[in-house]
Every structure is written in structure tokens, then in C-alpha cells.
Structure 1
Amino acid sequence: MTEQLNPSALPAALTRLLGQLVVSVQADDGSPLREVAHIVAMSRAALLGGAAGLRLRSAEDIRAVRAITGVPIIGLTKQAHPGTDVYITATPQEVHEVAAAGADIVAFDGTDLPRPHSVAELVAAAHAAGALAMADISTLAEARAAYAAGADIVGTTMSGYTPHSPQQAGPDLALMEALAAAGLPFVAEGRINSPELAAIALQTGALCVVVGSAITRPDHVTRWFAEALGIR
């Protein structure tokens, strides 16, 4: 653990997540589980299993889940915007919507992809709304830039989704180790699809671990098995 991960130096919402599991409860558009009632039910199940926090993808989902729990919520939007590949909480308006719905932490694309609004603008919007700002990054350089812009925490979420990050089947443990070595607090997220990988990610020095598809997307998990059996 780096000095920055001392609980006394962290905001309250991050302190509550230190060393814990956060479950990303999301369903793709078109999924049978996309309805808000299903998101609430899966969130309840994740909390029953021991999740200390949740990551949710829309103001509607956040509002409904906030009504049934007080755990820290990492909130975001997923919306396409013309002229950019930035997809996660790309505008200050989206930041405000997520925070107003009850998210403690607003996650946004913090990569160096061409973008409609700067990381600094999104950080400022989150702080103005009373929420923490989480930059989803794909490289060490992006993490440094996000902290320079005022981000409260970064996550390895975007590794594998940008041209300059490794395209691999598993989590980017090398990035996690580099962040830890640089003394930069981070959330481990992205392709962590087994309990063993979650434990390894936490051991790299992550503040907490976020797991999504392996827990809350049965269509994705079914596809893993079907492809392994050569039936897709």
C-alpha cells in the first residue's frame, strides 16, 4: 500500500471501499436484464454476497438503487456523442445528472482520446455537484494527467479500449503495478473475471476491485462458455 492509501487521507466514500469488492451492475441496451427492476434486484444480490459498493450506468438506475442502500455508488452514463469515441460520462451535464441521482463518485472517460470536454471540466462538474471524480484511464500517463486535473481517484477501466493500451484477455496487471510504483491510488477494474484475479489485482496495491461481467452479465458469461466449447 502507498502512503496515499492511508484511510485517514481518503475521502469518506473511498475509505469505505478500501480493500473491498465493488460490483458493476450493468446491462447492455437490448439485454433482458436492462430494466431498472432487474438492476435493483441484481444490486440487492450483489450486496447480499458481500459487495461494499456498486457501479451503475444511468441516473435512473442510480436513483432506484440509492433508494434501497446507503453503500457508495460509482455512477456513470454511457452515451454516444458525434465526433468522439468518448462514451462514458462525456459531458458536465451528464456528470450533474449522475451526481444528482445519488452517486457518491462520478466515473468518466479520463483517456487522451479526442473529447468534447476536458478532464478538468468533468472533475470540476463532479465537485460542484458534491461528488468525487473518478477518471477511467488506460495508461500511467493518463492517470498522472487526471490527478493533475484534480481527479480524486483513477480506475484502470479503459485499458484495452484505447489504441495505446494493451489488447489482452485478462486485466492489465502491469498498469496496476505501474500505478502502485508511482504512488498513485487506483481502482482495479477491467476483465477481472475470476476470484483469483480479483485477489491478485488487490495485491498489486489497488484501493478496491470492481468486477462486472463475471458477476452480473449472464449473457457474457454464457458466451465465454459457448465459445470455449466451440458452439458459437
Structure 2
Amino acid sequence: MNKKTEVFSKIKGGLIVSCQALDNEPLYSSYIMSRMAYAAQLGGACGIRANSPEDIIKIKETVDLPVIGLYKNNFNDSEVYITPTEECVDALIESKPDIIAIDATNRLRPFGITLDEFFKKIRSKYPDMIFMGDCSCLEDGIHAEELGFDLVGTTLCGYTKDTQDTELPNISLMKQLTSTLKIPVIAEGGIWSPEELKAAIDSGVHAAVVGTAITRPMEITKRFVNAIKV
């Protein structure tokens, strides 16, 4: 069994928990994210999605689950922030995630680089790495498969100008992608309840990611508080 087959087998039909905190959030800490990941593992998660080499290293020291790694970086000349540059990929490779997630929308990367230019170079540089394309729509997914991504996610639906008003989770998009593509599809974005998670899995996706609803207590608290505001 090769690495890709093994990783895909481990996450099939399961819940991947996104353990992320940005530097302006209360739980920002590689140690805290590693404990979040450990709690997720004990709860039955099949994988972890994590941001930054530092967090990935700490999480992989703590849990024995496949890790989808990404590296969020903001640039003034681009809307792309999920692993936007070659340097971000290089840094992630050093932390040894099982999968690397990259923005796979048609938006220009920093310095005016297209997705096609960017991914061709990255794939050539790291031919054995498993790459996940974070998509916003069906067209993104189709193009990502054509470029050679190993799997795609619905991660960026609702987070681009063309999809910003989309109701999440977008079960319809999940069904469209799974019925169109040959590569695995990961459901991600806006899954807040076990019922929504079940609906996502039932759409035919390979696995599903839940983040905020599990690992961001400030946002969870806000939802409860807003429910009782007069």
C-alpha cells in the first residue's frame, strides 16, 4: 500500500478536526493546538487539519493521525492566503504533514502568479507529496483535478467574492463534486452540527472537516450568547 492509499484509507468516511488559532485569538499556541488535536483523537477524529509548521510539528508529536497542513499568510497584492507561495510549501514540507492544502481558486497568487504556474512548479518540486486543493466552486474542483491535485475540499465556498453569499454547508456543491470528479472530495466549511456532518458524509464525500464548531470556544460562545440576546 503506497502512502496516498494509506492516508486516504485512514480518513475515509470520518471526521477531520481543524485545530487552528490565529495570533489574534485567545488559544493561539502550538501547545494548545496539540492538546486540541489530542482531544479530537480521543473523541474519534480520523485526522487533523492544522495551520503553520510550528503547530504541525507539535501536533504530530502528540497524535497519531494524518495531518492536513496549510500555512496561512496574507499578502497585500492577493486575496489568496492558504499556502499562497512556494516558500510556504517549502516550510510545510519540513514539518512533514501527510497532506498539504493549497488555495485552488482561480485567483492570482502573490506577485501575480497563476494557480497553473504555481502548482506546476510545486508538483515538479515535490512529486510524492499529497496535495489538496481548497476550492470554492465546481469549476475550481474540475480544474484542480486537471492540474494534478490528489484531492479537493469545499473549503473556500463562501469565502470568495463569487461565493460570499452562499449558504453553508453547501451540500449541493459536495454532491456536484463527488459526481463529477474521480479524486476524493473533502467536505469543509460551515458544518456546525452532527446532523450537518451526517448530511455532508451522505453526499458522497470521502471525509469531512469540522473546525470552528469544535475548536474555537470564543465563536461557539458567541453563538450561544446571540441566541439569548433580546
- Normalising by structure 2, we get a TM-score of 0.91
For structure 1, which segment, 55-64 or 220-229, has the greater mean C-alpha deviation from structure 2 after superposition?
A: 220-229
Q: Which residue of 1 aligns with 2:11?
A: 17
- The counterpart of 1:107, out of the listed 80, 101, 122, is 101
Q: 1:14-53 alignment to 2 at 5 Å?
A: 14-53=8-47
Cα distance in 1, alignment partners of residues 115 and 65 from structure 2? 26
| 1:198-231: CA deviation from partner (whole Å, max 9, x where unpaired) | 0100010100010000000001111111222227
Q: Which residue of 1 aligns with 2:115?
A: 119
| 1:10-32: CA deviation from partner (whole Å, max 9, x where unpaired) | 63212211111100001132222
Amino acid at match of 1:122: F
**Per-residue deviation, 1:124:** 4.6
For structure 1, which segment, 143-152 or 177-186, has the greater mean C-alpha deviation from structure 2 after superposition?
A: 177-186
Cα distance in 1, alignment partners of residues 17 and 133 from structure 2? 17
**Per-residue deviation, 1:102:** 1.6
For structure 1, which segment, 179-188 or 76-85, has the greater mean C-alpha deviation from structure 2 after superposition?
A: 179-188
**Per-residue deviation, 1:171:** 0.4
1:225 aligns with 2:221: no
Contact in 2 for aligned 1:133/1:152 (Cα 8 Å) = yes
Cα distance in 2, alignment partners of residues 124 and 54 from structure 1? 26
Count of residue pairs brought into register by the alignment = 224
Q: Which residue of 2 aligns with 1:206?
A: 205
In structure 1, runs of 5+ residues without a counterpart are 1-6
Cα distance in 1, alignment partners of residues 166 and 106 from structure 2? 20
CA change 1:208–1:127 in 2 (3 A) is farther
CA change 1:124–1:197 in 2 (3 A) is farther
Q: Which residue of 1 aligns with 2:89?
A: 95
CA change 1:176–1:166 in 2 (3 A) is farther
What's the secondary structure of 2:102's corresponding residue? strand
Q: Which residue of 2 aligns with 1:76?
A: 70
- When the two chains are superposed, the root-mean-square deviation of aligned CA atoms in Å is 1.9
What's the secondary structure of 2:208's corresponding residue? strand
Q: Which residue of 2 aligns with 1:3?
A: none
Contact in 2 for aligned 1:109/1:137 (Cα 8 Å) = yes
Contact in 1 for aligned 2:85/2:109 (Cα 8 Å) = no
In structure 2, runs of 5+ residues without a counterpart are none
CA change 1:127–1:68 in 2 (3 A) is farther
Contact in 1 for aligned 2:106/2:115 (Cα 8 Å) = no
Q: Which residue of 2 aligns with 1:175?
A: 173
